[in-house]
Amino acid sequence: MPISFRFRLIPFIACLLLISLGIALAQWQTHRAEEKEMLAVQLTARQHLPALSLNAQTPPEQLLAFRKLQLNGQLIREWPLYLDNRPLQGKAGVYVLMPLKLAGSSKYVLVARGWHPRNARDRMQMPVVPVPAGQIVIEGMMRDKLDRVMQLGQAETVKPGSLLQNVDVAALAKQTGWDFYPFVVEQTSAFDDGLSRDWPMPSAGADKHRGYAFQWYALALMAFLFFVVTGFRRGKN
């Protein structure tokens, strides 16, 4: 019985669309994986640099993401902020943030002090974290922004003790009138305050993106094979 291939326009167009979509999304995921790998290289290189003491004379070109910074100043204990939906090792919790005023300067830095578990009985009750008095020295890693979570609706007005989904340093500076540096410092130096500072590595996830890319390439290949296989028909005797 003879076998012939029957070309059909509509399935051909659908096949082209699926192949184009699969390849485009696979390339995007590959690009994201390369970005994460470059991020890992930058992170490793900058972590080996000595901590940079931040002051008014620090050149802006030295303020690079993932650079270790040393801050000398005073925490503003009246302005704690809390970032919601930040789990750690399967436990629900919040990040505790607090502004720090640099010594001998009018500049402020938003410091992510650490992670604290949520109150199991009252989720709206925020932890009371001890705050060192007077001038202190904090070491941490500079981040241009903290990892964001999905936020429904508009962001609320920031005020002392606010429970937020995400934080915008520029908006915080506008609402407080304080002159903030446009970044956040994740504290790494140890304080006796009950906070965990096991910060997630921002470079993680390259393998996940490559896995997604493989799946999209596979979808494009399956669309092509389906079009070819279904196009063959056995002829009549």
pLDDT digits (tens, 9 = 90+) for 89-145: 888 899 999 999 999 899 999 999 999 998 877 877 888 888 988 899 999 999 888
Taking all residues of the chain, what is their mean pLDDT, rounded to a whole number?
A: 85
Q: CA 109 from chain center: how many Å? A: 19
> In this predicted structure, what is the pLDDT of residue 156?
67
Query: Which parts of the chain register pLDDT below 50?
Result: 235-237
The rounded distance, in Å, linking the Cα atoms of 24 and 21 is 5
> In this predicted structure, what is the pLDDT of residue 179?
95
Do 89 and 65 contact (CB within 8 A), yes or no?
Answer: no
> In this predicted structure, what is the pLDDT of residue 8?
79
> In this predicted structure, what is the pLDDT of residue 123?
73
> In this predicted structure, what is the pLDDT of residue 74?
96
Instruction: Report CA dihedral (65, 68, 74, 78) to the nearest 10 degrees.
Output: 50
Do 75 and 58 contact (CB within 8 A), yes or no?
Answer: no
153: left (phi over 0), alpha (psi -120 to 50) or beta: left
217: left (phi over 0), alpha (psi -120 to 50) or beta: alpha
Helices and strands per DSSP (H, E), number in the chain? 3, 10
Helix 9-47 vs helix 206-231: angle between axes, to the nearest 10 degrees? 170
Do 116 and 187 contact (CB within 8 A), yes or no?
Answer: no
Report the DSSP pairing between strands 93-102 and 163-164: unpaired
Cβ within 8 Å of residue 155, ≥6 positions away: 164, 165, 166, 168, 171
pTM of the predicted protein model: 0.71
> In this predicted structure, what is the pLDDT of residue 124?
78
> In this predicted structure, what is the pLDDT of residue 226?
86
Q: What angle do CA 130, 103, 56 make, to 5 degrees?
A: 130
